Amino acid sequence: MHDLLFSVNAVFPLLVMMGVGYGARRLHWVDENAAQKMNGCIFRIFLPCMLCLNQMDADRSASVDVRTLVFAFVATVTVFLLMFWLVPRLCRQEEARGVLIQGIARSNYAVFGIPLVLSMYPGRDTSVAVMMVVVVVPVYNILSTVALMIHGYERGHPVRILRGILLNPLILGTALGFLLWKLEVRLPELLDVPLRNIGRMATPLAQFVLGASLDFRRVKTSAGILTMSVAGRLVLVPLVGLTAAVLMGIRDVSLATLIAVFASPTAVSSYPMAQQMGGDEALAVNQVVFSTAFSTVTVFLWVLALKRLGFL
């Protein structure tokens, strides 16, 4: 029951923020044009700032569970590669393919996953959960950019795709944060305070815009694809990933971290990326909303099952 309550408490604030955005749109306080412009700001300003600061804050003194980090890296890349091969064979809509790939392969680890691990193991060494950000976030951003550019505005233009990867604001923010972390650079308070305020705004603002962009009338037109996406994200990916982790002997905090990587809902930042890069934005919104809602049940079931089996 404690794990179920935690899952609900972790997800419910996201649903509330999306509900506020949805209400603002229905009351005509925010229109489609305003939502799109806010998305541009989230994609180019707020999310890169948040990712940069998250990288800079990584704990240098923490012990490193190399095996779990390497496993997560290889598994995440493998899931993306499988989706690159499988999705075009299952989905006929070109603009939906890139969105579907990232919707299944990319989890909301930074926002949902880390608090999950900290709640499951209070007072324990959870450094592997913090270090995991350095491993999975760059992979998510780079391969999601590739997926969206191949099946979005830039399909058929490899030079533009490469340029889009190198100049993607999320990738630039992550790379800059890692460089500053590596060089042990600390920002002066004059810059650190306002930048942190900007970074803190990224997630709630993205959730608000998600709600403002939600159109339930368009769910019916993509019900099959949406079902495939949510089932893939919350059931198939964690089933395969966690089974492999257990067979490799990964246990306790490390396994809980992999639950957070594989079983978390679709990343909130996947919507502004899709909207800015020519993907099916309605599908992207619905992926985040429905995977977040259903994750309150599926995450609880994964945690409960692995605890009962003695792996946590």
Give the lowest-confidence range in 12-16, 99-103, 153-157: 153-157
Which residue is it, tokens 């019900």? 223
Distance CA 174, CA 159 (A): 22
User: For residue 30, which phi and psi values (nearest 5 degrees)?
Assistant: -130, 130
Q: What's the pTM value of the predicted model, to 2 decimals?
A: 0.80
pLDDT, position 312? 87
Answer yes or no: is pLDDT of 3 > 70. Answer: no
Distance CA 96, CA 174 (A): 26
Domains of the chain: 2-308 (1.20.1530.20)
Answer yes or no: is pLDDT of 202 > 70. Answer: yes
pLDDT, position 261? 95
At 254, the pLDDT band (50, 70, 90 cuts) reads very high
Higher pLDDT: 218 or 208? It is 208
Give the lowest-confidence range in 19-33, 84-98, 268-282: 268-282
Comparing C-alpha atoms, which of 118, 120, 138 is closest to residue 129? 118
At 151, the pLDDT band (50, 70, 90 cuts) reads confident
Higher pLDDT: 213 or 250? It is 250
pLDDT, position 296? 76
Mean pLDDT of all residues in 278-287:
87
pLDDT, position 51? 80
Task: Return mean pLDDT, the chain.
Answer: 85
Mean pLDDT of all residues in 189-200:
92
At 213, the pLDDT band (50, 70, 90 cuts) reads confident
Q: Can you read off the two tokens belonging to residue 312? A: 């946590």
In tens, the pLDDT along 223-232 reads: 889 999 999 9
Q: What is the DSSP letter of 299?
A: H
Higher pLDDT: 5 or 186? It is 186
In tens, the pLDDT along 49-90 reads: 988 887 788 777 766 789 999 999 999 999 999 999 999 999
Answer yes or no: is pLDDT of 275 > 90. Answer: no
pLDDT, position 233? 97
By three-state DSSP, how is residue 26 classified?
A: helix
DSSP secondary structure of 216-284? GGGTGGGHHHHHHHHHIIIIIHHHHHHHHHHHTT--HHHHHHHHHHHHSPBPTTHHHHHHHTTS-HHHH
Distance CA 305, CA 236 (A): 15
At 252, the pLDDT band (50, 70, 90 cuts) reads very high
Give the lowest-confidence range in 74-83, 105-114, 117-126, 251-260: 117-126
Mean pLDDT of all residues in 20-31:
91
Mean pLDDT of all residues in 157-165:
70
Mean pLDDT of all residues in 263-288:
86
Answer yes or no: is pLDDT of 20 > 60. Answer: yes
Higher pLDDT: 3 or 173? It is 173
**End-to-end Cα distance, the chain:** 16
